Amino acid sequence: MSVFRFSETDLAYVLTTSIILAFVFTSLRKRKRGTSKFPPGRKGWPLVGDTFEWFAAVASPHPPRFVEQQSKRFGKVFSCSLLGKWVVVSVDPGFNHFVMQNEGRLFRSSYPKSFRDLVGRNGVITAQAEQQKRLHGIASNMMRAAKLRSHFLRDIQLVMLENVCRFRDGQLLVLQDACRKVAINLMVNQLLGITSESEINEMSRLFSDFVDGCLSFPINLPFFAYHTAMKVGLHQSLNHPIYHHHFRKIACYSLFAAHQICAKDTLGTITYTNHVQAREKIVNKIVKTIESRRIASRGEVGNGVLGRLVDEENLPNEAVSDFIINMIFAGNETTAKTMLFATYFLTHCPKALEHLQEEHEKLKKGEPESLLSWEDYEGMNFTQCVIDETLRLGGIAIWLMREATQEVTYEDYVIPKGCFVVPFLSAVHLDENIYDRALEFDPWRWMDPKNKEKRNWRNSHLYTPFGGGARLCPGAELARLQIAMFLHYFLTSCRWTQLKEDRRSFFPSARLVNGFQILLNRRE
């Protein structure tokens, strides 16, 4: 007979005591986390944390809505729970700068395996440390101002004449699709040096599928973009990086971020075989192009970034192809959406549209086919203000994603190794304390001498549409040139009327939800 016999009351007592002890213990642990000064934040709902509120805000025309609310409660650097992970978020320009400047030391950008496999491991976006520095240096060199003037200016305008100047009178246009087509044509033309129309069209189609795949969640089932990118994508040649990217990237970067936070590679492993097959097809196609360039150039400077890479840099074929894929991913959606948003903002601000039209009318050449010079471009002062304002108000890269490579101390906070850190760039761009009437489209603000320092996007803490530090966008100047040329040719050849209400959303990537449907009238 046992001496220890419990009645039901005793059991209830033991259970209650255990629950209380567990509660006290958990509170103590929470307090311990408090003393280690992990940035404060709420836990949100079980499992999903703040995920829904985060993405609901990102899908709205004002993506920083959620982080603004949280920063009012917890401070400019706070934590929240996204897709089951604790993430440190910053709307503090100083901390954002600190994170970007410490790329490769305290922080690094990281992508899931499925994404790295798709865009290539040897590209600028996915590379780390010394390899990233080298590739970034090559990319910046390829697209510096002197090269834009000598290699890109003319070709960009030829693409505009082929596309934008061919819009018809009375045509109904979904401008979002048209801008995407223009941007992808620009990429194919300038990166691969392809000029034949049929080849550009073929490559553009494949790139387009590829970019969709990069910007999608890695679900390898029929009808999903990721599946198309891997199986079909590039099956005839190639089709964010990045990205997007851009990442889209990114950007596109909102998707990069979702990719990064979400359970890494769960589906990636299942799809590995298909993935490798499709990637091989893509690489094969590019490598063929590289080989024909090697033969064709024979020491002469080749066409496009690819031709110059082959001539000037000693890189193996696979590295060249990853490099090109990364650039296409990073440069395509970002540029296309900035063209689109600029037109959208101008449509809703007739005064700015009129001012811009005046600037471009003066530059318009008598002969329809004659091209603008570099001096013409340099004289586009108001156009530059429009581009800066579009990037501020509708910046495509709304946030960046980093991972702490070691325990990081910043002011009073300690961020543990491995923690994700999100510098929320657009929250700074839309902060009323930093920009007067921050939610209004006001290109003239950039003419104000008091904003001169802020405007310097290479170093400014308050204006970072192209990121900063070691990963500062190497295509920024090229993108600005492309957008300026698009505005010139679009404004001088067409007038338009918006047919359907529209609004911006940044989920799953930056877009206008109805694509911006317009009716065109050709201008003589």
Binding site for ligand HEM (CB under 6 A): 109, 124-125, 132, 136, 139, 326-327, 330-331, 334-335, 338, 396-397, 400, 465-467, 471, 473-475, 478-479
CA gap 441, 439 in Å, rounded: 7
Find all residues with CB under 8 Å of 12, minimum gap 6, and list them: none
Q: Output the smallest distance, CB 329 to ligand HEM, in A.
A: 8
Helix axes 153-162, 476-493, angle to 10 degrees: 40
Q: Output the smallest distance, CB 178 to ligand HEM, in A.
A: 17
CB 44 within 8 A of CB 50: yes
| Cis status, amide bond into 63, omega within 30 of 0 | no
Question: Residue 464 is encoded by which pair of tokens?
Answer: 């970072």
Q: Output the smallest distance, CB 471 to ligand HEM, in A.
A: 4
3-class DSSP assignment, residue 220? coil
Q: Output the smallest distance, CB 128 to ligand HEM, in A.
A: 10
Closer residue to ligand HEM in complex, CB, 336/520: 336
Closer residue to ligand HEM in complex, CB, 54/466: 466
Q: Find the residue with minimal CB distance to ligand HEM.
A: 475
| Strands 420-423 and 85-90, bridge-based pairing | parallel
- Is residue 60 exposed (0-12), middle (13-18) or buried (19+ Cβ within 10 Å)? middle
Closer residue to ligand HEM in complex, CB, 270/472: 472
Q: Output the smallest distance, CB 479 to ligand HEM, in A.
A: 4
Q: Output the smallest distance, CB 21 to ligand HEM, in A.
A: 45
Minimal CA–CA distance to 252: which of 116, 423, 398, 111? 398
CA gap 291, 309 in Å, rounded: 12
Q: Output the smallest distance, CB 473 to ligand HEM, in A.
A: 3
Closer residue to ligand HEM in complex, CB, 179/267: 179
Alpha carbon separation from 81 to 5, 426, 474 (Å, rounded): 45, 20, 32
Distance of CA 483 to the CA centre of its chain: 16
Minimal CA–CA distance to 239: which of 251, 254, 227? 227
Q: Output the smallest distance, CB 245 to ligand HEM, in A.
A: 7
Closer residue to ligand HEM in complex, CB, 220/383: 383
Closer residue to ligand HEM in complex, CB, 136/227: 136
| Strands 172-174 and 517-522, bridge-based pairing | antiparallel
Residue 246, beta-bridge partner list: 242
Closer residue to ligand HEM in complex, CB, 443/475: 475
Closer residue to ligand HEM in complex, CB, 271/335: 335
